[in-house]
Amino acid sequence: MQSCSLKTRKAIDQSVRVIASLSAVIGLFAIVWILLTVTGRGIGALNLKFFTEVPTPPGIPGGGLINAIVGTVIMTIIAAVFSLPIGLLAGTYLAEIGKETRFAEVVRFVTNILIGVPSIIVGIFIYALLVVPMRGFSGYAGAVALAVIMLPIVVRTTEDMLNLVPDSLRESALALGASRWQVTLNVVFRSAKRGLLTGVLLAVARVSGETAPLLFTALNSAYWFSSLKEPLANLTVTIFNYAMSPYQDWQQKAWGASLLITVGVLFLTITARLIMKRQGKQL
Amino acid sequence: MALTALTSKWSGSVPAVWAVWDVWDENSPDRIIKPVAGDRVFRWITTVCAAAIPVLMAGLVCVMVFNSHLALKKFGLGFLTSTAWNPITQEYGALSSIFGTGVSTLIAMLIAMPMGLAVALFLVEWAPPKLEAFFGTAIELLAAVPSIIYGMWGLFVFAPFMADHVQPLLGRYLGFLPLFKGPPMGIGMLTTGIILALMILPFISSVSRDVFKMVPSVLKESAYGLGATNWEVTKGVILPYALHGIIGAGFLGLGRALGETMAVTFVIGNSHRLSASLFETGNSIASTLANEFTEASEPLYLHALVALGLVLFLITVTSQIAAQLWLRHIIKKAGGK
């Protein structure tokens, strides 16, 4: 370093700066390219029929994907109903009760590993656990698969958010004679509620775009929702099937569904970030 | 979210509330108050919920092993080294899938790691604050886009772009290498790797950005004060200081790339073969599962696929555990200082 002249050092500095800026520009370019493609190709498919009609048979133009939209919403809601209570309570255990016990350490470790398990593995797990014994693909199986993916995410964000609550709050409430469950529910949860809401929204956003775990659990269906024991139509598997099909009309619908899911997921993510930002200002 | 996990773990100090909280431990000799009934119930419920997670994990492992035992018994360790994949003769081997997962992940890491660091450096060190906030948000939103969207874009937009513009160019100038031989089809290993790189780039750059921000400005300022240039400060102060965190970010991206299914399935071409050329089609463990799972009618076929899933599971879990132990190692070090 010392042997270089000032000129070379400055030149190196400039070139690194150019490379770094270029990388950032390429990264930004990629997102703009992807979003523009999805919007440009998808917007044409989104008409009233798309949101009101069920799919037509292969090769016949027309129809819509209302069944898949409803299916995705139903499965996401059921997954949330399963995993939110368990996840919130487990996260509460880690942040408030277990803390640094051996058991809490194990749970924390396993949670982090479970977050990293590929979602297609969860699909196989639920296939073997539910689809085989129930003798068929079903909306239930799809919802459970999504719940399994959501659970560890909820646990970890809950723990992180509760850890942000200052201990002085807990101490004051305890000193006033509140019992610990009252402290947790009325003081800790209340002051962490924006953070918890953010975590929940991010978890919902994450699973609503999942495809792999639904491929062999909920499968897909061309019909209107009838029962959760039947294969359930959903947007993401529809995208996969339609994109791989030879029909122009179906490919166009796949782009429409892609646009819908992207807008939905980004909306949830941005909402979550805004909520968190306001929390930051309040504290 | 990984960032908050990463950072929250660093503040490992024991809070004052500990003393009071210890009463949760009913066997503690320091216990002064008898826990009220509500507390006992609350503790019991949350413990059961927490226990659900290890139980779920154990269940997952048991179910996977049970549903792959036919294949494991028949092929043994040879499953890992065989390239055969023939549902008609009932011969199955995982090598081509493992190879595809490895190669596509390697390409992704080779591109995304330096690029992610460069983006993070640009944001933290050089970009004006407003631009930083804008770029930072944009890149983090990229992380939220579902992987199937990358797959769609990859198949319909990026693969034709590769076939028309990038691959002929690579073939012309680097075609003497076995890596770049073959017809420019667009889909294949190289395209898959690049799309995976775009997918994990946001993770790597946002974690690195957080890590770079934690470098104390006193350190940087002293280096600047000695006359160092921006790059010299980066190389001599920021990177060594942030190294542990950067490796953590790398593990995060690695985990994503290894198990990615949809983006890969769309563009990898899905053929069971090993090929030195990155232009050729191939398959990864996840893409094989996505394509063939619902077609598996024979028990042995199904068990072979689940065994393949088990291999992927073991690979990702190993990398996760390595990452966890690594993080724990850093926390200990940080706590020791």
pLDDT in tens, A205-217: 999 999 999 998 9
What integer pLDDT is reported at residue A76 of this predicted model?
96
Residues sharing a CB contact under 8 Å with residue B173, sequence separation 6 or more, in sequence order: none
Disruptive mutation site among B32, B41, B53 for chain A (greatest number of A CBs within 10 Å):
B53
Cα B246 to Cα A20: distance, rounded to the nearest angstrom:
16
In this prediction, residue B327 has a pLDDT band, given cuts at 50, 70 and 90, of confident
In this prediction, residue A98 has a pLDDT band, given cuts at 50, 70 and 90, of confident
Whether B229 has a pLDDT exceeding 80, the answer reads yes
Which residue of chain A is at minimal alpha-carbon distance from B310?
A121
Q: Which of residues 185-204 of A touch B (CB under 8 A)?
A: 199, 202
In terms of C-beta density within 10 A (0-12 exposed, 13-18 middle, 19 or more buried), how is residue A64 classed? Answer: buried
Disruptive mutation site among A105, A180, A252 for chain B (greatest number of B CBs within 10 Å):
A180
> Are residues B229 and A104, on separate chains, in Cβ contact within 8 Å?
no
Mean pLDDT of B290-308: 91
Which residue of chain B is at minimal alpha-carbon distance from A174?
B20
Mean pLDDT of A154-181: 92
Least reliable range by pLDDT among A58-62, B26-30, B253-257 = B26-30
Mean pLDDT of B116-121: 90
> Are residues B231 and A17, on separate chains, in Cβ contact within 8 Å?
yes
In terms of C-beta density within 10 A (0-12 exposed, 13-18 middle, 19 or more buried), how is residue B300 classed? Answer: middle
Q: Which residues of B fall within a CB distance of 8 Å from A89?
A: 45-46, 49-50
What integer pLDDT is reported at residue B29 of this predicted model?
56
Nearest to A181 among B38, B150, B294 (CB): B38
Q: What percent of chain A is modeled with pLDDT above 90? A: 62
Q: Which residues of A fall within a CB distance of 8 Å from B255?
A: 116
Report the DSSP beta bridge partners of residue A55: A63
Which two three-digit tokens encode residue B248? 């953590």
Q: Higher confidence at residue B77 or residue B16? A: B77
In this prediction, residue A89 has a pLDDT band, given cuts at 50, 70 and 90, of very high
Whether B336 has a pLDDT exceeding 50, the answer reads no
C-alpha pair distances (Å), B202 with each of A232, B252, B278: 32, 11, 24
What integer pLDDT is reported at residue B4 of this predicted model?
40
Residue A261 CA to its chain's centroid (Å): 11
Which residue of chain B is at minimal alpha-carbon distance from A83?
B49
Q: Which residues of B fall within a CB distance of 8 Å from A112?
A: 5, 320, 324
The whole-angstrom distance between B286's CA and the closest CA on chain A is: 7
The whole-angstrom distance between B42's CA and the closest CA on chain A is: 6
The whole-angstrom distance between B264's CA and the closest CA on chain A is: 11
Which residue of chain A is at minimal alpha-carbon distance from B226?
A2
The whole-angstrom distance between B36's CA and the closest CA on chain A is: 7
Check if the beta carbon of residue A101 is closer than 8 Å to that of residue A187.
no
> Are residues A12 and B231, on separate chains, in Cβ contact within 8 Å?
yes
Cα A28 to Cα A179: distance, rounded to the nearest angstrom:
51
Instruction: Match 């593995």 to its residue by tokens.
Output: A121
Strands B85-86 and B91-92: antiparallel
Nearest to B50 among A107, A210, A215 (CB): A107
What integer pLDDT is reported at residue A217 of this predicted model?
92
Q: Which residues of B fall within a CB distance of 8 Å from A253?
A: none
Residue B159 CA to its chain's centroid (Å): 23
Mean pLDDT of B251-275: 90
Check if the beta carbon of residue B239 is closer than 8 Å to that of residue A16.
no
Averaged pLDDT of chain A: 90
Disruptive mutation site among B261, B284, B306 for chain A (greatest number of A CBs within 10 Å):
B261
Q: Which residues of A fall within a CB distance of 8 Å from B50?
A: 89-90, 93-94, 98, 103-104, 107, 155
Instruction: Match 């790059």 to its residue by tokens.
Output: B231
ipTM: 0.91
Q: Which of residues 254-273 of A touch B (CB under 8 A)?
A: 254-255, 258, 261-262, 265-266, 269-270, 273
In this prediction, residue A173 has a pLDDT band, given cuts at 50, 70 and 90, of very high
What integer pLDDT is reported at residue B31 of this predicted model?
55
What integer pLDDT is reported at residue B26 of this predicted model?
56
Q: Which of residues 63-122 of A touch B (CB under 8 A)?
A: 85-87, 89-90, 92-94, 96-99, 103-104, 106-107, 109-114, 116-122
